[in-house]
Structure 1
Amino acid sequence: MSEVVQKSKLAKQAAQIMGNLTTEQKNQALLLMADALVTEQQAIIEANAKDLERGKQLGTSASLLDRLALNETRIAAIAEGLRQIAELPDPVGDTLEDFDRPNGLRIRKIRVPLGVIGIIYEARPNVTVDAAGLCLKTGNAVVLRGGSSALFSNEKIVEVLHGALNRSAIPADALQLILSADRSSVDEMLKLNGLIDVLIPRGGHSLIQNVVNNASVPVIETGAGVCHTFIDESAQLEMAISIGLNAKAQRPSVCNSMETLLVHESVASKHLNAIAEAFTGANVELRGDQQARALIPSMQNAAAPEWATEYGDYILNVKVVKDLDEALDHIREFGTMHSECIVTEDASHAERFLQEVDAAAVYHNASTRFTDGFEFGFGAEIGISTQKLHARGPMGLPALTSTKYRIYGSGQIRQ
């Protein structure tokens, strides 16, 4: 029996127990997990150092190493995420509908756990904890398959979390980590109908498309983020630069960072030099269209494929557009339905943008970096869904539940 099948079977068995736990039992486990992470933070950091060293030897980019790195501050934040999840309302058992039929049947629609959730993700060890916390809070078991670049970190984190779960009502088998770095372990999870109830991929475009295109297990698609910020004609320049810098340079490796800056031609003609200087001062490499390069000849050319590229790095495309319509057209062509922003003082333009842009999160005068479960008050998120079925946007606790109808009768039979 393979590792994937063995651990998925253990998770399936544990899921039967998970569905019967009280909110108090689940919350106590989450708090124990949070405390354990802080108590064992040095061991986690030492394991993480092995991953970082290997990444450096393999030539991993600085931005990806940043996604991988753990320190006391980040571990404290991850633990705080678990505590916040514990404080959030438990959606399991919530009554969504309650009605009576003319024949006397009473029908209630309630939230229930999904069962066993498989999560396939890349080099962010914080996902290991966020996923565990959200899944366990909602009564689900979880099978995690992280990237090889974070293997030492993930293994130590799950070891620490198992130690905490062993002191709680949640069975440790409800949290499983696939240690095999072989691609076949992912392929196996994609076809594990009957043991895994739903798959959630988190990572780059190729990972997500592999899961979406090849899985027979149902998939909740989390999308790559080719996110845009449009500086409209009426935008306050200082605000626009501040929002743009935050969206690109605050943490460029994450999916809600900006990849393309769209600038109204009237703003570009007066202020593109100042905008460019702000970004280059933040070590961002700029690649522009013909109009942008005419204003700033030193700017590199943005080749056609790059408008659809999620760089995850200190690289930004810049395009000059004549109006809101051209900005909307560009986003329709190259956006990934993740997060889009307009900076404007024109209320009608803002409303059009918010209404017409088809994305999970659409912003007026605020950075796309806020598309995040923690920032939305969800404690954490299992991912940011860019699809339209089941869940969309940052997926908190309710997104990790399904529904069940309970029907109460008094002997009714159908005629």
Structure 2
Amino acid sequence: MTISEVREKAMLAQEAAAAMNRMTTEQKNKALLMMADALLEHQGQIIAANGQDLSRGRDNGTSDSLLDRLALDGVRIAGIAEGLRQIVALPDPVGTVLDDFRRPNGLSIQAVRVPLGVIGMIYEARPNVTVDAAGLCLKTGNCVVLRGGSAALESNRAIVAILKQALEAAGLPQDAIALIEDSDRASVNEMLKLNGLLDVVIPRGGASLIRNVVENATVPVIETGAGICHTYIDESAQPGMASDIAFNAKVQRPSVCNAMETLLVHSSHAGKHLPALAARLREAGVELKGCSKSQAIVDGLLTVEESHYATEYNDYILNIKVVENLDEALAHIRQFGTKHSECIVTENTEHAERFMQEVDAAAVYHNASTRFTDGFEFGFGAEIGISTQKLHARGPMGLPALTSTKYRIAGSGQIRG
């Protein structure tokens, strides 16, 4: 009987997991540094492969913002390599003693961090995720089976080949990192059912991908969420600060999940300052859609439909809604937010505290851009995703989120009566 690529690579990863359990922090760090050096040494090979993906994407009519997510150059590869070096500098969570106590019967009990095992990573056209996931999994003693989007297939092939060579040179099992090259959606669906081979699946991408994984997986899932993020400019907001934060949240990199999709503006602020902010956004190429109140303040806004508020654009498109108070802003976020990242710009400490307390999201900001919801910015070195669920891990998932707990019990012959 022929074994599928997905099952074969998952089986090899499971075998490698036993060897990874024996690796010391020093061995893992050495491999990470060699992986970083290899990416830089072979960046020409990566850029050439990425060029094939970009060319195919342009031929298929891929949007500029999605092409930006896909594109690699020397600067981005250097940043990806630096992410691996930052992971090296972080403490290894594996083996950390979380609790240590003795029972009256003399049993000594320790709770320690251990690897999750074999992680299945399903994601879209961002080849940097390939390296981030591999690096974070390696540092935590996990093996990873990667299934990236078909748009980045050539880039991912080149990257994973380079990483596997570095692993072998460092004395670690090559099969600790695997790439599923079958671009058929059936390969994703097969991964979702690999109970006993994959210990957890982590999806990272748009709403439809995440929904498919959550609804169809029998393997446990750590849900990373779509990013319908809001910035609410309150009545007391400083105009310059509010403009800078909103502009950054939308324009700095609109294709990512922590970019703002809807701007909520208090009516008293909007009447004075929204036209200037809208002009600034338009000058940057942002298409603006507005509610009836915002259309009365700013000329030429397209009409926003209710369905638009539930849309993650990942593009230079922004919804604008004028609200009468904080309560209306909070109600809108409750209805349309995806529990990712939300921001209030205000000088009113009571409003700020209420927003921070009541908004149900993985990251809540006061007077700062939502673009900071990122493992690198949080000092985690990199992230495997931003969890919007409430079990096990939430927010940018760094090293501790990729571990579980094992209880180690030592006795002196105790038996239970």
TM over 0.5: yes
CA offset digits 1:195-254 (Å, max 9, x no partner): 000000000000000000000000000000000000001101010010011100000000
- Aligned position for 1:405: 407
- Shift of residue 28, structure 1, vs aligned partner: 0.1
CA offset digits 1:135-169 (Å, max 9, x no partner): 01000000000000000000000011111111113
- Aligned position for 1:85: 87
Distance 2:162 2:83 in 1: 16
Gaps of 5+ in 2: none
One of 20, 23, 31 as aligned partner of 1:21:
23
- Aligned position for 1:155: 157
Q: Which consecutive aligned stretches of 4+ in structure 1 deviate over 2 angstroms post-superposition?
A: none
Distance 2:379 2:298 in 1: 41
Letter in 1 for 2:175: D
- Aligned position for 1:177: 179
Give the 3-state SS of the residue equivalent to 1:211 in structure 2.
Answer: helix
- Aligned position for 1:216: 218
CA offset digits 1:338-366 (Å, max 9, x no partner): 00000001111110000000000000000
One of 313, 318, 321 as aligned partner of 2:320:
318
Distance 2:292 2:414 in 1: 73
- Aligned position for 1:284: 286
Normalising by structure 1, what TM-score? 1.00
Q: 1:9-408 residue pairs with structure 2 within 5 A? A: 9-408=11-410
Normalising by structure 2, what TM-score? 0.99
The answer to whether the 8 Å contact 1:78/1:126 transfers is yes
Give the 3-state SS of the residue equivalent to 1:167 in structure 2.
Answer: helix
The answer to whether the 8 Å contact 1:26/1:169 transfers is no
Give the 3-state SS of the residue equivalent to 1:209 in structure 2.
Answer: helix
Give the 3-state SS of the residue equivalent to 1:166 in structure 2.
Answer: helix
Give the 3-state SS of the residue equivalent to 1:228 in structure 2.
Answer: strand
Distance 1:214 1:261 in 2: 34
Letter in 1 for 2:58: K
What is the aligned-residue identity percentage? 70
- Shift of residue 170, structure 1, vs aligned partner: 1.6
CA offset digits 1:110-139 (Å, max 9, x no partner): 000000000000000000000000001000
- Shift of residue 297, structure 1, vs aligned partner: 3.4
Give the 3-state SS of the residue equivalent to 1:212 in structure 2.
Answer: helix
Distance 1:328 1:71 in 2: 41
The answer to whether the 8 Å contact 1:108/1:405 transfers is yes
